[in-house]
């Protein structure tokens, strides 16, 4: 087995961040709740405006109707020649009305022929003596017209008066400016105000949501109820009680596992020592030398089972101690990653030599704040897995240093590797990839991941050099 020291190789990794969700649903509901009354108020305003225009129009109709007999009385005689227009002596009210540019009049005979005034107003006389009102468009203007049969010195004629300033028509033309446009501006202002008000008023609630989303599933510490809005404090208090119950239950389980593992270590160590001695005696004994020959195969199986049981107890104890929640209260210290990697090389050198594995070290100076005994456990598990699953004659490399401004540790091998679909699952406790050869409990990588989380990191798995094997890395926070 050759001991290798290799130069540093750079690599790049990109991480995506989940975009925080917005309170679009709440904004939408508030916007609908505010805009609906505004629309209703706009409709009521339009209705009142129309009623006001209708009242003015009714007054206008009464004014037109009052002028009809005055215009009929203004006819004082026929023209000097046949076919001439009748002679009028206009009353002051009629004269003032006719002077307006938006007013018109006509006097027609029984056949609808215009005798005086605007010919377009001449029409068939009403069938009764009652006045007839209607609206008519002429030259782009909508006129309010009244026609009535009247007795004059010329006999019965039809008097027509028209007013082009109908308030109802003006209302129809100005509804966009007077009703729709102001309310559209008001709705747009309300939408902006709702967005601004929701963001300002619900910022504490959004901060609470973000704080909960950023939490690790294993972080069950209480939420600060004082920093939460008063309306959601009962919910926060309920969550805190739930967190407390779950945390107490989890803590009880951790203590049980730690106590059980700790209690098992001593008898398992004694049992393993006895079995190792039996195995050595069984393997060293030869026929005819006068010693009692032990069943070698059974003893070796017993030795393997004892080793796995001891390893499981040690790993359960390490898993309990590595829990991220239990480490929060313990202060971190400066850890030299290069010294740690060199120690792991010496520790696993014999195991690598036994399998003719080329165990290399690529260590650059790097220091981080952390728990040394936990990082030693993490790196030891990674190297132990690499040596255990790399076939004879393979290569394992331990690395540390700085990459992209962050300190890192890394173990790379050219063994069978882990399929991309299995990489997330192998970090779970007691999970082993189907078909994996060799002994194991499925806890090594789970413990390493717990330790990585306790150091605010995460294990990254990638294929090794040339797409072979597995490269497991931990980048520490800057």
Q: Of the segments 117-121, 208-212, 319-323, 381-385, which one has the largest average pLDDT value?
A: 381-385
Q: What separation, in Å, do the N-terminal and C-terminal C-alpha atoms of the chain show?
A: 36
Confidence band (pLDDT; 50, 70, 90) for 473? very high
359 and 3 Cβ atoms separated by less than 8 Å: yes
Q: Where are the alpha helices (DSSP H) in 14-23?
A: none
Residue 355 CA to residue 345 CA, distance in Å, equals 15
The tens digit of pLDDT for each residue in 4-15 reads 544 333 332 332
Report residue 204: phi and psi, to 5°: -60, -35
In this prediction, residues 168-177 reach a mean pLDDT of 59
Question: Binning pLDDT at 50, 70 and 90, where does residue 20 land?
Answer: very low
What does the pLDDT look like over 434-468, one tens digit per residue? 656 555 556 678 878 888 888 888 889 999 888 88
* Alpha-carbon distances of 303 from 125, 297, 308, 440, 463, rounded to whole Å: 126, 10, 9, 14, 34
Percentage of the residues of the chain whose pLDDT score is greater than 90:
11
Mind listing the pLDDT tens digit for each residue in 266-306? 666 667 677 777 667 766 665 555 555 556 666 666 666 66
Q: What is the mean pLDDT of residues 331-345?
A: 90
What pLDDT was estimated at residue 41? 78
478: exposed, middle or buried (C-beta count within 10 Å: 0-12, 13-18, 19+)?
exposed
- When computed from its CA atoms, the radius of gyration of the chain, rounded to whole angstroms, is 49
Q: Which pLDDT tens digit goes with each residue over 63-84?
A: 888 888 888 888 877 766 766 7
What is the number of other CB atoms lying within 10 angstroms of the CB of residue 28? 11
In this model, does residue 398 exceed pLDDT 80?
yes
Tell me phi and psi for residue 397, to 5 degrees.
-125, 130
* Residue 383 burial (C-beta neighbours within 10 Å; 0-12, 13-18, 19+): buried
Let me know: does 108 contact 123? Beta carbons within 8 Å: yes
Predicted pLDDT at 413 = 92
Strand order in the sheet with 358-363: 4-5, 358-363, 395-403, 406-413, 470-475, 460-462
The pLDDT of residue 7: 39
DSSP code at position 11: -
pLDDT at 155 over 70: yes
pLDDT given at position 412: 94
pLDDT at 370 over 80: yes
Enumerate domains of the chain plus CATH numbers.
26-172 (3.30.450), 230-320 (1.10.287.130), 332-475 (3.30.565.10)
**What is the reported pTM?**
0.43
For 123, left (φ over 0), alpha (ψ -120 to 50), or beta? beta
Whether residue 360 is predicted with pLDDT greater than 80 in this model: the reply is yes
347: its two tokens:
């520790």
What is the mean pLDDT of the segment spanning 20-25? 49
Which residues share a beta bridge with 116?
107
CA 338, 340, 346, 352 dihedral sign is negative
Rounded Cα distance, 97 and 104, in Å: 8
């Amino acid at each position: 087995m050759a001991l290798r020291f290799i130069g540093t190789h750079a690599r790049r990794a990109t991480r995506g961040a989940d975009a925080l969700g917005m309170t679009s649903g709440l904004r939408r509901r508030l916007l609908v709740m505010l805009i609906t009354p505004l629309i209703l108020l706009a409709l009521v305003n339009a209705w009142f405006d129309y009623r006001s225009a209708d009242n003015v129009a009714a007054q206008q109709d009464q004014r037109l109707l009052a002028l009809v007999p005055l215009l009929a009385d203004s006819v004082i005689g026929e023209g000097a020649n046949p076919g001439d227009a009748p002679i009028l002596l206009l009353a002051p009210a009629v004269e003032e009305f006719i002077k307006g540019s938006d007013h018109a009049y006509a006097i027609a005979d029984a056949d609808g022929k215009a005798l005086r005034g605007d010919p377009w107003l001449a029409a068939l006389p009403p069938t009764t003596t009652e006045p007839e009102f209607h609206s008519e468009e002429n030259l782009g203007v909508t006129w309010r017209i009244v026609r009535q049969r009247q007795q004059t010195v010329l006999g019965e004629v039809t008097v027509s008066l028209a007013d082009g300033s109908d308030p109802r028509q003006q209302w129809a033309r100005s509804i966009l400016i007077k009703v729709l446009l102001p309310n559209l501006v008001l709705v747009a202002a309300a939408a902006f105000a709702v967005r601004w008000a929701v963001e300002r008023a619900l910022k504490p609630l959004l901060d609470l949501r973000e704080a909960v989303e950023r939490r690790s599933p294993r972080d069950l510490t209480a939420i600060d109820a004082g920093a939460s809005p008063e309306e959601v404090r009962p919910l926060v208090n309920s969550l805190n009680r739930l967190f407390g119950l779950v945390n107490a239950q989890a803590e009880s389980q951790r203590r049980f596992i730690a106590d059980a593992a700790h209690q098992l270590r001593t008898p398992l160590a004694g049992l393993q020592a006895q079995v190792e001695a039996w195995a050595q005696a069984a393997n060293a004994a030869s026929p005819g030398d006068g010693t009692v020959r032990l069943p070698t195969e059974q003893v070796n199986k017993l030795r393997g089972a004892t080793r796995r049981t001891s390893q499981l107890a040690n790993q359960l104890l390490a898993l309990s101690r590595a829990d991220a929640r239990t480490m929060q209260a313990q202060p971190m210290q400066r850890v030299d990653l290069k010294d740690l990697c060199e120690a792991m090389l010496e520790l696993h050198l014999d195991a690598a030599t036994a399998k003719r594995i080329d165990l290399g070290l690529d260590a650059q100076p790097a220091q981080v704040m952390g728990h040394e005994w936990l990082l030693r456990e993490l790196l030891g598990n990674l190297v132990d897995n690499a040596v255990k699953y790399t076939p004879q004659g393979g290569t394992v490399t331990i690395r540390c240093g700085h990459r992209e401004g962050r300190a890192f540790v890394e173990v790379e091998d050219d063994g069978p590797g882990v399929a991309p679909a299995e990489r997330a699952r192998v970090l779970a406790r007691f999970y082993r990839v189907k078909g994996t050869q060799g002994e194991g409990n499925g806890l090594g990588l789970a413990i390493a991941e717990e330790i990585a989380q306790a150091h605010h990191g995460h294990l990254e798995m990638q294929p090794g050099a040339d797409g072979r094997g597995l490269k497991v890395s931990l980048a520490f926070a800057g």
